[in-house]
């Protein structure tokens, strides 16, 4: 069951039936700027992808479906609405006509039966339908399947958790996830870590998010480079409206290829209780949203409070038997504000790709904390002291 509620989309269905042999997959490595094997044969299809990807204000996603026997496929283009489709057609009239003509010619020559339908034709596809949330101020695009796989194969490995153990040696840490340092691209101050504290994990080795995106993508996948760099900077610009400083800023990747989810944990213990400000971005929509889990805030007088960050097993034993409160987001982007040092929390991943921009121990700009309180759709632990409240704001 898909839980998103959206306006009616305008969909173009390109039905492809191959005879007498199933359609092959194109070797995208031979095509400029692409490196994947998840799109059907034909240079003309590649040109269509390029054209559609240049129009995120009109196009939500491009889906490729293939039947079990391999003889039928469907290239499905989802527009925000009918007006978006006609705007796209008008803005790209000549190129769109050329690409469409080439597709029909190409398939005719290969004796492939090609049919085109739209949602206005009341066409019913044999392949499952996905629905997509509305655009938000932070993101209005979806990462198509073959680029999603490219990101999983080429980027998230750089975010694996490793720690320096001395003399040039490193050890992998048994934490499920992928973590990068978030560059400072705004006036948000990053306070230096406490060199005398084990609770900040200063020995964790991490790449900077934008450095990895640039190094992996700027030549091989310029579309990924442009989208991810812009998103990273837009998120920081958004965060700058609400916070003035933090102890730490990271980007976490969420996807079930990293495991079932991130371990239950707490983080960033300091002398004063401060909130963590997290912006969650959903990039794909082929599965159910991730599930956030929050356990009752820990007692201020807990003698082990400073140990839980580094000792996951100790924290697990502390919360054993508790039933967490769960939340799911219905939006492409959302904000979580809570005390991450005192509130044990975890995330159950799905087959969708997420980015979590996490700012720890923040100072809020004047009136911004109150703004978040007023706009949050979910508020947890309100029977606790306000320093332990949780606010979940779907943008």
What is the tens place of the pLDDT at every residue in 318-340?
Answer: 999 999 999 999 999 999 999 99
- Report CA 124 to chain centroid distance, whole Å: 30
Rounded to two decimals, the pTM is 0.90
Read off φ and ψ for residue 273, nearest 5 degrees: -75, 125
Give per-residue pLDDT as tens, 144-166. Answer: 998 999 999 999 989 987 777 67
Q: Is 3.40.50.970 the CATH number for 10-132?
A: no
Could you tell me the residue ranges of all domains in the chain?
Answer: 10-132, 149-394
Q: What is the residue-wise DSSP string for 116-158? A: EEEGGGT---SSPP---PPP-SS------HHHHHHHHHHTGGG
List the structure tokens of 333.
């982007």
pLDDT, average across residues 189-215: 79
In order of 39, 71, 114, 130, the CA distances from 335 in angstroms are 34, 44, 44, 24
Q: Residue 46 has what pLDDT?
A: 82
Give per-residue pLDDT as tens, 19-67. Answer: 555 455 444 444 444 444 444 456 788 888 889 999 989 999 999 888 8
Torsion angle of C-alpha atoms 112, 118, 121, 126, degrees rounded to 10 = 60
Read off φ and ψ for residue 63, nearest 5 degrees: -110, 140
pLDDT, average across residues 271-282: 93
In order of 48, 58, 120, the CA distances from 82 in angstroms are 19, 9, 9
Contacts of 343 (CB under 8 A, 6+ apart): 266, 294, 295, 296, 297, 298, 381, 388, 390
């Amino acid at each position: 069951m898909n839980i998103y509620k959206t306006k009616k989309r305008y969909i173009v269905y390109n039905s492809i039936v191959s005879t007498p042999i199933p359609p092959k997959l194109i070797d995208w490595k031979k095509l400029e700027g692409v490196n994947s094997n998840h799109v059907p044969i034909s240079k003309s299809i590649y040109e269509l992808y390029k054209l559609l990807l240049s129009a995120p204000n009109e196009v939500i996603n491009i889906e490729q479906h293939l039947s079990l026997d391999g003889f039928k496929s469907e290239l499905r283009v989802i527009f925000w609405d009918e007006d978006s489709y006609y705007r796209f057609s008008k803005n790209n009239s000549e190129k769109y006509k050329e690409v469409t003509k080439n597709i029909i010619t190409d398939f005719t020559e290969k004796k492939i039966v090609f049919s085109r339908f739209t949602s206005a034709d009341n066409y019913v596809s044999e392949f499952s339908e996905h629905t997509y949330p509305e655009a938000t101020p932070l993101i209005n695009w979806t990462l198509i399947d073959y680029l999603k796989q490219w990101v999983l194969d080429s980027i998230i490995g750089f975010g694996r958790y490793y720690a320096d153990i001395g003399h040039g040696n490193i050890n992998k840490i048994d934490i499920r996830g992928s973590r990068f340092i978030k560059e400072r691209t705004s006036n948000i101050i990053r306070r230096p870590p406490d060199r005398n504290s084990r609770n900040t994990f200063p020995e964790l080795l991490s790449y900077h998010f934008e450095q990895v995106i640039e190094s992996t993508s700027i030549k091989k996948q310029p579309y990924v480079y442009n989208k991810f760099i812009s998103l990273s900077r837009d998120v920081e610009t958004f965060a700058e409206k609400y916070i003035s400083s933090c102890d730490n800023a990271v980007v976490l990747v969420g996807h079930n290829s990293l495991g079932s989810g991130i371990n239950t944990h707490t983080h960033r213990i300091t002398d004063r209780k401060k909130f963590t400000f997290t912006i969650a971005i959903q990039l794909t929509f082929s599965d159910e949203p991730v599930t956030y889990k929050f356990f009752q805030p820990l007692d201020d007088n807990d003698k082990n409070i400073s140990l839980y960050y580094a000792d996951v097993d100790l924290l697990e034993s502390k919360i054993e038997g508790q039933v967490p409160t769960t939340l799911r987001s219905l939006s492409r982007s959302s904000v979580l504000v809570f005390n991450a040092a005192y509130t044990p929390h975890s995330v159950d991943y799905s087959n969708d790709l997420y980015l979590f921009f996490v700012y720890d121990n923040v100072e809020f700009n004047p009136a911004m904390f109150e703004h978040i309180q007023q706009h949050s759709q979910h508020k947890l632990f309100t029977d606790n002291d306000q320093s332990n409240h949780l606010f979940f704001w779907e943008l």
